A = this chain, B = another copy of it.
Amino acid sequence: MQKVWILLLVIFLPLTVIGNFLHFSEVLLFVLASVTILPLASYMGRATESIAIHSGPRIGGLLNATFGNAVELIIAFFALRKGLTQVVQASLTGSVIGNLLLVAGLSFLVGGLKYPVQKFNASIARTNSSMMMLGVVIAMIIPAIFNNYHPGIGNKLSIGVAIVSLTLYLLGLYFALFTHKHLFSYTDGMEEEEAEWTMGKASLILALATLAVAYVSETLVHTIETVSHTFGWSEVFIGVIIVAIIGNAAEHSSAILMAYKNRMDLSLEIAVGSSLQIAMFVAPVLVFAGLIIGQPLPLVFTWPELAAMTLAVLLTAFLANDGESNWLEGAMALGAYLIIGIGFYFL
């Protein structure tokens, strides 16, 4: 797998750079940029992982919890700077439902085809479900419904909600890394794993990959409008489905691999943890960044987006709260993703 990433990188990163200089067609540039992001996200993930191992479980957990969705954050930041508020909201939505339904669904399905029943920590699953109910459902629905009832208060509400969400995300980290560390015992295995790279090399790779992602993201965001017109896809569909899948592809493959190895706790941590991170860390950070660059991002999602996120959270809670999974539960999550995907396609 790692050879594929290198190959993809040495071919597609230069092509994207050249394409930008020679003004390739925007559709081609969109494809090049999309493909380039896949290996870059993999390098960023692996570098973060190496640094995390060198730093010990607590700092490591903190690093994973803040850099784990750096690619989505960077893409969304450039989209926000260009004023594509709808694309940002759509890609946040797409990341949440993609991680919950597509990643967890594929993990349950792939793992379930090998093992009849897979078990995981029900206590963590339930804590995560409650956190998603707060950070995804309540934090997203309240601004939308209140702003709908009394238009114009969306921006103020978003700032308040972003502060509460981020605070609870940090409290959740403190809970998992300090006061109730023993519950999350599956992270113990991590300490024994060997880092892929030394601290110095990993830091360098992380820095370079981040720079490259920033460069490529700008290209990607720049071309979305043209791609939207050319294929007749709405910008929301591109944000919810395509950008979200590109931005999360590296995590998708890790989560599914873990499920195949019957390490369901890690697999779910990637899928559900990543959703929480998008909703309670990336979204608030974008709200604050928007205030700074004068391009406010109201966390006022459309009804289709809210319905998609709320139903994804409820279904995942129903599937995960008993601490067991099987292939049918994976198929259900994928079925839900398909229904929602069809909906956004026709929008």
Residue of B nearest to A320 (CB): B130
| A contacts with B, residue count (CB < 8 A) | 64
Q: Which of A272-299 contact B (CB under 8 A)?
A: none
Quick one: which of B131, B157, B315 contacts A134, CB cutoff 8 A?
Answer: B315
The residue of chain B having its C-beta at the shortest distance from the C-beta of A116 within the complex is: B180
Task: Decide yes or no whether A207 CB sits under 8 A from chain B.
Answer: no
Docked-complex contact A328 and B145, CB < 8 angstroms: no
Contact of A146 among B126, B165, B343 (CB under 8 A): B343
Describe A's contact surface by its main secondary structure: helix
Question: Hey, what's the 0/1 contact readout for A127-143 against B, CB within 8 Å counting as 1?
Answer: 10111011001110111
Q: How far is the CA of A267 from the CA of B47 in the complex (A)?
A: 47
Given A307-B141, A318-B126, A346-B156, the answer on whether A164 and B332 have CB atoms closer than 8 Å is no
Q: Which chain B residues lie closer than 8 Å to A138 at the CB level?
A: 311, 315, 336, 339-340
- Is B123 a contact partner of A335 (Cβ separation < 8 A)? no
Question: In chain B, what residue has the closest Cβ to A144?
Answer: B307
* Identity of the chain B residue whose Cβ is nearest the Cβ of A146 in the assembled complex: B343
Task: With both chains docked as a complex, state the minimum distance between the C-beta of A61 and any C-beta of chain B, in angstroms.
Answer: 15
A168 and B172 CA atoms in complex are apart in Å by 35
25 pairs, A vs B, C-beta closer than 8 Å: A123-B322, A126-B318, A129-B318, A133-B311, A133-B315, A138-B340, A139-B339, A141-B311, A145-B304, A145-B307, A148-B303, A149-B303, A149-B304, A150-B347, A156-B346, A157-B342, A157-B343, A160-B339, A160-B346, A164-B339, A167-B335, A168-B331, A171-B328, A175-B326, A175-B327
